[in-house]
Structure 1
């Protein structure tokens, strides 16, 4: 299957490598392919230059966001950060029309000012905006009415999304939400190919609000444990 992954950060790379391992033809989208491939220094998170990552991933094609989306058979994974996602995806609405778009971003606002900051090992915890009365998933769907948006992957680190067995032998829960039943099934099938067995459909896309707001709780648990973990919904 031809699958597009939009973004070149650590999360996107986890999906790129796993999809290629599963035999899919992966089309990577970035804002400026030439600039992305010309970088020789790690990014602000210490991630190696993308061209170095590609050296271990033969056959991966790098395009603009729009060209990558157009090359997919119908499934697009967005690794675009929450702050820029609506703008970047709106610009390629025609290429995304009729396709399933998986959004896993949290709408973080970094370097915000607050009277009561939450100190973390890597700086002040960003705030989530929108929150409570809207979500990034819903904003993307409104901006892309011809696209089937599914919120998924957001409650876990992407390295664990693509390899759930790394935590508790894979016995933990992944969530999906969206308006289109067929699109959610498509995402569920992908998750099963990754190794997930407990996939919970939360219902309509409004449930993106809960998944995005959970990000703070996920961080709190991670700080307490000092490592990666999974969560299990016990029925």
Structure 2
């Protein structure tokens, strides 16, 4: 399958590398390919420049967002939450009729708030939108001809693409969306990653719960000293 990973951060890299390993044709989308490849310093998270990472994965192509989306049978959104709706709206034609798996979280970094939440690495970002809307829903409204499926929000993407690395894979991943065929397509992809327990939460409004869970996930991870973990729904 031809799969576009939109975004060059650590999450996008995790998906791209795993998809290449699984035999897919992988294209990664960015705003400006030459600018992305020209970076020589780690980003603000300390992640190595994309060009250095890409050199270890021959076969992955870097394109603009629009070019990558046009090439794909399925797309994965890893664009940061503050810019995702704007960027994806600009390539709506290239994504029309396709499934878009969205794992982005609507973080607002360095928020001005009366009672900040200090963390080991700074102040916890705020969520916007929250409660009465979600990033997943906003993306669907901006892309009415695309089938948006929210997934992979409730753990690090390194765990999402390799569930067996935590607890032998005995944990749960969640999806939500309005289109049964798109959810089936995403479920098949998740099972190829190694997920055995894929829980469909129903309509895309459930994105609100998944996105809001991210703060709880962080709190648990702080308590575990930064270790990766999974959550399991016990029936």
Same fold, judged at TM 0.5 (above)? yes
> Which residue is equivalent to 1:78?
77
> Which residue is equivalent to 1:63?
63
Cα distance in 2 between the residues matched to 1:111 and 1:163 = 31
Cα distance in 2 between the residues matched to 1:198 and 1:100 = 21
**Offset of residue 147 of structure 1:** 0.3
SS at match of 1:23: coil
Task: Identify unmatched segments of 5+ residues in structure 1.
Answer: none
After TM superposition, the runs of 4+ consecutive aligned structure 1 residues lying more than 6 A away are none
Cα distance in 1 between the residues matched to 2:133 and 2:75 = 23
Cα distance in 1 between the residues matched to 2:128 and 2:59 = 38
> Which residue is equivalent to 2:216?
217
1:117-163 CA-to-partner distances (Å, cap 9, x unmatched) read 10001101011111111000000000100000000001110000000
RMSD: 0.5
1:45-99 CA-to-partner distances (Å, cap 9, x unmatched) read 11111111111100111110000000012x1001100000000000000000000
Cα distance in 2 between the residues matched to 1:51 and 1:118 = 35
Aligned pair count? 234
1:92-120 CA-to-partner distances (Å, cap 9, x unmatched) read 00000000001111101111111111000
The aligned runs of 1:15-34 (5 Å cut-off) are 15-34=15-34
SS at match of 1:67: helix
> Which residue is equivalent to 2:41?
41
**Offset of residue 193 of structure 1:** 0.3
> Which residue is equivalent to 2:231?
231
Cα distance in 2 between the residues matched to 1:165 and 1:94 = 37
Cα distance in 1 between the residues matched to 2:107 and 2:8 = 18
Q: Does 1:133 align with 2:135?
A: no
